[in-house]
Structure 1
């Protein structure tokens, strides 16, 4: 596809236990950050830049904002560390880059892009990824940069529950959410996707979720781009992002149906939950989720940023409310 297209950018800031009782100041801050992410990303598209530029511009805004579980504000592992993962993919070339288990990379999404563009590899992890970051001049910071008191307290509560061996359902579910992601369609008709996360509160043994795994939490081809957010183990087992795009590109399913079938049927049927954003080459948007809410935003031809959080706020998917049974995860 090389004909001129109306650019579109879609973002998410995580799905999960998002309740109306959210502190109004926090809600305002979240909406402001998402609006800025949309504006910064869309400015790239309006300037005729490729989709990948919009994806990384939007995601650096969310990584820098402590209200999201990515970059600054990432959750803590069982050992009290921050371990971050990220991935990017370009649909027209199938080029991809990802990083996992980094501790000092200020913007993991930029390192994932550097892996894609400046190495012969797709995925780098841990110390090696940080060594590569140094070589590429990617900003490294002291690990204390990522710490927020709120995330630290979440870990303390989780550790207390570990001792009592009594997981609290809400907290157990909340552990699995809070990724940020973006998908974009540029004026050349090319798609790109990116996802960044701080992982899971109280995670152990260097656990890695779906976000940096190409095809699981992040995927783009010439017809479709997807970024997921949810219980990563289920997105990996269903190769969720890839499956949505295969349904669109190989089976010819409409994007919204393909995304809803994977996110709202297949994953919950296995005991998982979460959401995703998806975009096709025509600029059709899908935002399925089966939780109480999903931080989501979109900007298209009118250049107006739209942000929604709760289930009763309209979005381009117009998805039906989640069935009650899908709103909390099994342990």
Structure 2
């Protein structure tokens, strides 16, 4: 690129059942963590570092904060374990790294980055991924590190619901749609995307969602970067992140419209829900979601972190598509 781009960083901390009645102490902690993630990531961009470094720096802050379903504070599987997934992608080279089903990796996004940078592979899973982590010098911790009592109680509630009715039977169960992610544009005009998650409460059989699947929950190319959060099966089936980027770079659909069409039309029409963050090569960004709220934030030319949680908060992206447009296919 012949001219320096104005760096932009956009992050999310999950979409789902996020009500105005949220505990004020938690709300303050969440906003502080989102702000810190933005500041850490943006510092990399201001220093002229690649978008990948900004994405990694932002996501590690959220992985270390138990208020998010990634890293410490990840949700529990049916068997009472924490199972972590992550992915990262460089839009400039189309290089990517992903890991799934790990139990001892302190910062899954760092292992995904190591897979991209230090192996000839894109995705590693389970014990093999942890063996590679050891070789790559990525920090491992005892599985007890990830445990929080709140997540344990959520599992106990879900197990009781299991016995009574189907999974996803009530809105409380839908709280498993928490994931963290970041998309960045660096001074070179290059884009990157990353996503990290603890999956869904009460998941079984080694289930893997969209977050570590390149093209589904995480994707970046030369003109678009996306990180999703939501009901992963639907993001996989629609190849949601790739779909948004193809609309932007191949069909020349404006970013905000492309993201809204996939997140607020295509996925809901199939019965799924969630949100995403998307960023294009000109620094335009979108943060569509069709849930009560989405932990989200952005930082751009003014260097000031902006964070939002609830659906009716100003998040800098303007008005969403009219309801008449966003409900097609319902």
Q: Same fold (TM over 0.5)?
A: yes
Question: Unpaired runs of 5+ in structure 1?
Answer: none
Structure-2 residue corresponding to 1:31: 31
Q: Deviations over 1:306-325 (max 9, x none)?
A: 0000011111222439969x
Instruction: State the SS of the aligned residue for 1:169.
Output: coil
In 2, Cα distance between equivalents of 1:239 and 1:195: 15
Contact 2:260–2:321 (8 Å) recurs in 1: no
Contact 1:71–1:146 (8 Å) recurs in 2: yes
Instruction: State the SS of the aligned residue for 1:303.
Output: coil
TM-score, with length taken from structure 2: 0.96
Structure-2 residue corresponding to 1:283: 283
Instruction: State the SS of the aligned residue for 1:151.
Output: helix
Instruction: State the SS of the aligned residue for 2:5.
Output: coil
Structure-1 residue corresponding to 2:163: 163
Contact 2:12–2:297 (8 Å) recurs in 1: yes
In 2, Cα distance between equivalents of 1:173 and 1:23: 18
Contact 1:184–1:193 (8 Å) recurs in 2: yes
Structure-1 residue corresponding to 2:215: 215
Contact 2:257–2:321 (8 Å) recurs in 1: no
Query: How has the CA–CA distance of structure 1 residues 69 and 322 changed in structure 2, closer, same or farther, with 3 Å as cutoff?
Result: farther
Instruction: State the SS of the aligned residue for 1:48.
Output: coil
Contact 1:287–1:316 (8 Å) recurs in 2: no
Contact 1:94–1:221 (8 Å) recurs in 2: yes
In 2, Cα distance between equivalents of 1:224 and 1:138: 29
Instruction: State the SS of the aligned residue for 1:192.
Output: strand
Contact 2:62–2:180 (8 Å) recurs in 1: yes
Displacement of 1:173: 2.0
Structure-2 residue corresponding to 1:259: 259
TM-score, with length taken from structure 1: 0.96
CA-atom RMSD, angstroms?
A: 1.5
How do residues 188-207 of structure 1 correspond to structure 2 at under 5 angstroms? Answer: 188-207=188-207
Structure-2 residue corresponding to 1:8: 8
Instruction: State the SS of the aligned residue for 2:171.
Output: helix
Contact 2:288–2:320 (8 Å) recurs in 1: no
Q: Deviations over 1:111-149 (max 9, x none)?
A: 000000000000000000000000011000000000000
Displacement of 1:169: 1.5
Equivalenced residue count is 325
In 2, Cα distance between equivalents of 1:241 and 1:196: 14
Structure-1 residue corresponding to 2:242: 242
Displacement of 1:166: 5.8
Structure-2 residue corresponding to 1:123: 123
